Amino acid sequence: MKRILSFLLAACTLLSMTTSAFALEKGDARAVIGADITEGQKAAVYKAFGIERDSVKELSVTNSEEREYLDGLVASSIIGTRSISCVYIEILGEGEGLQVSTSNINWCTKEMYANALVTAGIDNAKLIVTSPIEGISGTAALTGVYKAYEDITGEQLDEVAKLAGTQELVITAELANEIGDYDAVTIVNELKKILAETVDMTDSELEDEIKSIAADNNISVSDGQIKQLVSLCRSLEKLDPSELKAKVESLQDTVKKLAGAQAKVSEIASSVGSFFKSVGNFFSDLFSKIGK
């Protein structure tokens, strides 16, 4: 349930964005293929994309290009030595938001791609992230998205935003492994709402603020995780604080509805459990009386 809610939260963030950073034409598309997959594996990737191989412009992403963005943020073992994950990006119409799906990716979830890509300034696009091999981290895919988007627009995405988006993806992924996807997205989004204030805080004051946010949302975070969030916050502060805050605040009603939906599901589950327990007790009593 938490994974579903966290994806919906991220998706709603994206759908709230109605202005693209560049003038884009609906239907423009690119496929970015990991440089280290075979020709046979490419066929499987295009099948996952649901398109013919020659129907879109194909680009390639290398492991060295991955490392330009991820070295120092992600363990070398996660980045690996080969570029395997692939991505298809298609520009959607104004206001359609960002749609993300993944397959055979085990480290980055679709909600993490979505939330990080909004930070990087990418919206109104369809993303399919896949790998011909199961259990791939998916780190090449984010670099591939940037590369595809810049090729479509002919313009460079803001480097600060790209680095912040990458760092957000990495830190959210690591947090999610420890505290769950929903809580990871929640605490990051809460920080986005107060960036105009955190910029004037010392690291110690910011750590206290993160602890307060975690406590308010019943989230348990370690000292190491708090330091990760401080680092992320310092990167996000370089972007437009008011814009990031607006994206999050536009979701307040949705968040309440999702929280209510989660509570309702728990209530229903509890009621169903009580019902079957009552049925079990009924038959237990019945058979007990028959046996007497």
How many Cβ atoms sit within 10 Å of the Cβ of residue 80? 18
Q: For the chain, where are the E strands, in sequence order?
A: 29-34, 57-61, 86-91, 98-103, 125-130
97 vs 261 pLDDT, higher one: 97
How many whole angstroms separate alpha carbon 16 and alpha carbon 97?
Answer: 7
Confidence of residue 78 (pLDDT cuts 50, 70, 90): confident
Look at residue 216 and tell me whether its pLDDT is greater than 70.
Answer: yes
Minimal CA–CA distance to 72: which of 231, 189, 255, 190? 231
The predicted structure's pLDDT at residue 63: 94
Confidence of residue 277 (pLDDT cuts 50, 70, 90): very low
How many whole angstroms separate alpha carbon 232 and alpha carbon 212?
Answer: 17
Q: What is the mean pLDDT of the chain?
A: 79
* 27-36, 184-193, 240-249: least confidently modelled range: 240-249
Look at residue 67 and tell me whether its pLDDT is greater than 60.
Answer: yes
269 vs 153 pLDDT, higher one: 153
Look at residue 4 and tell me whether its pLDDT is greater than 60.
Answer: no
Confidence of residue 283 (pLDDT cuts 50, 70, 90): very low
Contact indicator for 38, 119 with CB cutoff of 8 Å: no
The predicted structure's pLDDT at residue 73: 75
The predicted structure's pLDDT at residue 189: 87
Look at residue 103 and tell me whether its pLDDT is greater than 50.
Answer: yes
Contact indicator for 262, 5 with CB cutoff of 8 Å: yes
Contact indicator for 103, 138 with CB cutoff of 8 Å: no
* 120-129, 227-236, 247-256: least confidently modelled range: 247-256
The pLDDT tens digits for 133-165 are 999 988 898 889 889 988 998 888 888 888 887
Q: If you ran DSSP here, which 8-state letter would residue 124 be given? A: S
The predicted structure's pLDDT at residue 7: 39
Look at residue 71 and tell me whether its pLDDT is greater than 90.
Answer: no
139 vs 55 pLDDT, higher one: 55
The predicted structure's pLDDT at residue 270: 45
User: Could you tell me the two tokens for 193?
Assistant: 């709402």
Its pTM stands at: 0.69
Residue in the block written with tokens 């929280």: 259
* 69-78, 95-104, 140-149, 187-196: least confidently modelled range: 69-78
* 24-38, 54-68, 202-216, 234-248: least confidently modelled range: 234-248
The predicted structure's pLDDT at residue 95: 87
* 3-12, 114-123, 195-204, 215-224: least confidently modelled range: 3-12
User: Could you tell me the two tokens for 191?
Assistant: 């920080």
User: Could you tell me the two tokens for 95?
Assistant: 């206001």
What DSSP assignment string belongs to the chain? -HHHHHHHHHHHHHHT----SS---TT-EEEEEETT--HHHHHHHHHHHTS-GGGSEEEEE-HHHHHHHHBTTB-HHHH-SS---EEEEEEPPTT--EEEEEESBSSS-HHHHHHHHHHTT--SEEEEEE-SSTTB--HHHHHHHHHHHHHHHSSPPPHHHHHHHHHHHHHHHHHHHHH-HHHHHHHHHHHHTTHHHHTTS-HHHHHHHHHHHHHHTT----HHHHHHHHHHHHHHTTS-HHHHHHHHHTTHHHHHHHHHHHHHHHHHHHHHHHHHHHHHHHHHHHHHHHH-
